[in-house]
Amino acid sequence: MKYFNLHTHKFTNSPEVLELVNQYPWEFDVAIPNYSIGIHPWYINTNRLESDLKIIEDKLQLNVCLALGECGLDKRIEIPLALQIEVFEKQIEFAEKYQKPLVLHLVAAFDELIAIKKRLKIKVPIVIHGFSKNEQVAKQLIDNGFYLSFGKYLLRNPDMETVFKSVPNDRFFLETDTIEETLEEVYTLAAKYKNIKIEDLIEIVNTNFSTVFKSKNPII
């Protein structure tokens, strides 16, 4: 069975890993076989917004494009939140139209996200990558239908053990994002925290992949 990497910026082409490689429309690499594509809130550029959105919509129609992302909201940057929400909601519209899950970057905007999900009645699965918050926030998000992906902070913050343990097995993914550590290291620690064999953890993530990404074929 293969590992699944929910979010990475580094394409390794490892035969042991199915990688969901993050792509940006303005620097798209056709050589990457499985990817997500989206406008990160940090990189919103109104001068090229129309062309970026056009590229995203074109790519979402391809089978190799597994998700829309990373997109989302970040209240700790200078880009106005109103503009972030506008760009985010345009991408949500595409995700709904082409039935692709959303992979999100979320910083200090969880209440806004929940409100948007309810207002727009979003039906596609939503995964919050790089989760680093406490058990209370995790429960709030899970109760509102979100999935959580763990990586960097799981490895580097021991307090995340109790948070990760509290997440139901059908609601999490694992990732590397931009860290130097390997995906196997993330899986090894996650299996230890869940007190299960790594093979069982791989099977759990495999099942979650099939559910969220509407794949009829497991990761083999």
Q: What is the pLDDT of residue 220?
A: 53
> 3-212 falls under which CATH superfamily?
Metal-dependent hydrolases (3.20.20.140)
Task: Give φ, ψ of 172 to 5 degrees.
Answer: -130, 160
Distance CA 51, CA 57 (A): 10
Could you tell me the CA-to-CA distances from 68 to 31, 109, 114, 128, 196 in Å, in that order? Answer: 18, 19, 18, 12, 31
Residue 104 pLDDT exceeds 60: yes
Element (H, E) at 106: strand 102-107
pLDDT tens digits, one per residue of 10-58:
999 999 999 999 999 999 999 999 999 999 999 999 999 999 999 999 9
Q: Which range has the worst mean pLDDT, 90-94, 203-207, 216-220?
A: 216-220
Angle (nearest 5°) at CA 184 between 213 and 59: 30
- Contact yes or no for 112/73 (Cβ under 8 A): yes
Q: What is the mean pLDDT of the chain?
A: 96
Single-letter amino acid, residue 156:
R
Residue 59 pLDDT exceeds 80: yes
pTM metric for this prediction: 0.96
Domain ranges of the chain: 3-212
pLDDT tens digits, one per residue of 159-183:
999 999 999 999 999 999 999 999 9
Name beta bridge partners: 35: 21, 65
